[in-house]
Amino acid sequence: MTFPISLALPVRYPGPPPAAADVVVIGGGVIGVMTSLYLAEAGQKVILCEKGRVAGEQSSRNWGWVRQQGRDPAELPIMVEAMRLWQGLSQRLGDGLGFRQTGVMYLANADRDLEGYERWLPHARENGVDSRMLARCEVEAMLGTSSRWKGAMYTPSDARAEPWVAVPMLAALAVEAGVRIVENCAVRGLDVAAGRVVGVVTEAGRIACDRAVVCAGAWSRLFLGAHGVAIPQLSVLSSVAATEPMPEIYPGAAADDDFAFRRRADGGYSLAPGSGHDFFIGRDAFASFGAYLPVLKKDYRSTAFRLAAPAGFPDAWGTKRQWGDGVSPFEAMRILNPAPNMTLIRRMQDAFARAFPALGRPKLKTVWAGMIDTMPDVVPIVDHAPLAGLTIATGMSGHGFGIGPGMGRVVADLVMGRAPGHDLSRFRLARFRDGSKIAPGPAL
C-alpha cells in the first residue's frame, strides 16, 4: 500500500481562490483546518490555502495519539478542551474519525522513567485528568505479556483517531461551515502596506484580507523569515509503519524508548521507533543550535544527525530564503514526503517481537515518515506576530494532532480579538528574544 495522501490523489478543492476574504489561513493541516472551521462558525469569511493536499504532511503522517498524558502544564487545559471537542466532533461525524477513548500508556524501562511520570501526575489532578501509575503486574495483565517494564503511567480517557481519514473529514466539515479551501495553492507571501497585512500573494493570484494566520507546519520558519519574522523552528524526521491486521493485545496506545504502538481501526497497529529520529543539518540548524542545547542535552542519543536535507526541503542548503513574488519553495515541494529510516523501522519490528513473542515479528503493510516541526522548548508559538493582522500557530512539536481542535478554537478567538480562554503566555513569540530561559516542556 502506498501512503494514502499523495499528489496522486485528485485535487478535491480546486482554485482559483476568491479575490477577497476576512481571513486567509495558510496551511491545510489539522491546525489550519480547525482554525478555519471555528472562524467560519463565528461568521468570518475564510479562505484556506494549501500548497499540496489537505493533511498531506504531518497531519496524516502522525501516530494518531490523542493524549492529555505527559503534556506541558500550559498545554494541558487546551488539551482537556480538545478532548471534549473531539467527543462532539465524533458525535457529529461518526465512526469514520476513528476517535475512541481507549487509553494511553507510557511504559517504564527504568526507575527514573517512573519518577518522571510521578512528577507529572499532579498536573493531571489539577486538570481533572484520570492519569495514574500502573504496577508491573497491572501492565503485564493489560498487555498480556511478561516483560522488563517496571510499571507505567496510564490515562484511560486518552484516545486515538485515524489521522489520514479524520483530518480530511474535518476539512469537509469546515467547507460545510463556509470555509473556501483551495488546494495546489501555495501562499508565496504577505501583501503588507503601512505595517499591516492587506492581503496574501498566492501562486494563483492575490487575495485581499486584513488578517492572515500562518499554520504552515514545517514551512513556517521559511515563510515568516522571508518577512523578517524570525522563529527558531527546526524539523526532525520521524519514521512510522502500519502493520497488517494482527490480534488485539490492547485497544489503546503505548510506548517505551524502543517502540510505540497504537491500535488502528483496520485491525493493525501504527508502529514507530519510540524516540529515535533523524535530523538534517542546514542553515537554520546552525543558526538555532544554541537554543536547542537544553533539549539536546536531555535527548541527543536518540537523534541520528545527517549532513544535508534532500533538495527542496525547508532547511535544505539550496532552498531559497527570499523569492519576492516569484515561484516559491512552497509550490516546488507540494508534499514533504521524506524517506523513512529503514534501520530504525527494522529495529522497532524486532523490539516489538521481543516484547510480544506470541504475535511474532509484525508484517508491515506501509512505511512512511514525516517532518515534525519543533521548537526549542517543545511547545508551540500561538501568538500575534509583530506585524498587524498576522497570527502565528505553529511549532506543535510532535503533539499537534490531538490538541488540534482545542488549538483551532483558541487561534480562531485570537484572530478575532476575543479572549482565548486560556493563558497563552508560554506560547508567546517574544520568549525567544526577551531573554527568557528556554525551559523545555516534559516531552514525556
Ligand X SMILES: Cc1cc2nc3c(=O)[nH]c(=O)nc-3n(C[C@H](O)[C@H](O)[C@H](O)COP(=O)(O)OP(=O)(O)OC[C@H]3O[C@@H](n4cnc5c(N)ncnc54)[C@H](O)[C@@H]3O)c2cc1C
Rule CB under 6 A: say whether 400 interacts with ligand X: yes
Q: How far is the CB of 373 from ligand X (least distance, A)?
A: 7
The answer to whether 217 contacts ligand X (rule: CB under 6 A) is yes
The label of the residue with cell 526507575 reads 111
Going by DSSP bridges, is the β-strand pair 277-280/303-306 parallel, antiparallel, or unpaired? parallel
* Of 123, 221, 263, 399, the one binding ligand X by CB under 6 A: 399
Contact 198, 210 (CB under 8 A): yes
Render the burial of 81-107: b for 16+ CB within 10 Å, e for the rest. Answer: bbbebbeebbeeeeeebbbbbbbbbbb
**Of 150 and 227, which has the nearer Cβ to ligand X?**
227
Of 280, 401, 427, 432, the residue at the interface with ligand X (CB under 6 A) is 401
CB nearer ligand X, residue 79 or residue 152: 79
3 state DSSP class of 193: strand
Q: Which stretch binds ligand X (CB under 6 A): 20-28, 142-150, 224-232, 344-352?
A: 20-28
Binding string, residues 26-65; x marks residues near ligand X by CB under 6 A: xxxxxxx----------------xxxx---xxxx-xxxxx
Binding flag, residue 278, ligand X (CB under 6 A): no
Q: Look at residues 148, 213, 195, 200 and name the one whose alpha carbon lies nearest to residue 355.
A: 148
Rounded to whole angstroms, the Cα distance separating 368 from 354 reads 23
Q: Does 269 bind ligand X (CB under 6 A)?
A: no
Draw the binding track, 183-212, toward ligand X (x: CB under 6 A; -: no contact): ---xx-------------------------
Q: CA of 269: how far to CAs of 263, 266, 345, 358, in Å?
A: 5, 8, 14, 16
Collapsed DSSP state (helix, strand, coil) of residue 81? helix
Q: In angstroms, what is the minimal distance from the CB of 222 to ligand X?
A: 8
What's the CA dihedral at 77, 94, 43, 52 to 10 degrees?
A: 90
314 binds ligand X (CB under 6 A): no
Can you read off the three cell numbers belonging to residue 248? 488485539
* Shortest Cβ 67–ligand X spacing (Å): 7
CB nearer ligand X, residue 150 or residue 428: 428
CB of 51 or CB of 123, closer to ligand X: 51
How many residues interact with ligand X (rule CB under 6 A)? Answer: 40
Per CB under 6 A, the list member of 86, 280, 330, 352 interacting with ligand X is 330
406 near ligand X, judged by CB under 6 A: no
Which residue blocks in 42-75 are alpha helix, DSSP H?
A: 58-61
Alpha helices in 229-380 (DSSP H): 283-299, 329-332, 342-355
Show the beta-strand stretches assigned E in 117-210: 132-135, 151-155, 159-160, 180-182, 187-193, 196-202, 205-208
Shortest Cβ 250–ligand X spacing (Å): 16
Helix runs in 220-379, H state only: 220-225, 283-299, 329-332, 342-355
Q: In the set 402, 405, 406, 440, which binds ligand X (CB under 6 A)?
A: 402
Give the whole-angstrom CA distance, residue 87 versus residue 89.
6
What would the 3-class secondary structure string for 5-43 be?
CCCCCCCCCCCCCCCECCEEEECCCHHHHHHHHHHHHCC
30 versus 114: smaller Cβ distance to ligand X: 30
CA 407 remoteness from chain centre? 11
* Nearest residue to ligand X, scored by beta-carbon proximity: 29
Q: Which is nearer to ligand X, 57 or 113 (CB)?
A: 57
Report in angstroms how near the CB of residue 292 gets to ligand X at its nearest.
Answer: 18
Least Å from the CB of residue 135 to ligand X: 26
Nearer to ligand X, 151 or 406 (CB): 406
Count of all residues that appear for the chain in the document:
444
- Per-residue interface string for the shown chain with ligand X, residues 109-148, x marking contact by CB under 6 A: ----------------------------------------
> Is residue 80 within 8 Å of residue 124, measured between CB atoms?
no
Nine cell digits for residue 402: 490531538
Q: Does 71 bind ligand X (CB under 6 A)?
A: no
In contact, 181 and 202? CB cutoff 8 Å: no
**Closest to ligand X by CB, 84 or 148:** 84
Provide the 10 A C-beta neighbour count for residue 247. Answer: 9
Can you give the binding site for ligand X, defined by CB under 6 A?
26-32, 49-52, 56-59, 61-65, 186-187, 215-219, 223, 238, 240, 330, 370, 372, 394, 396, 398-402
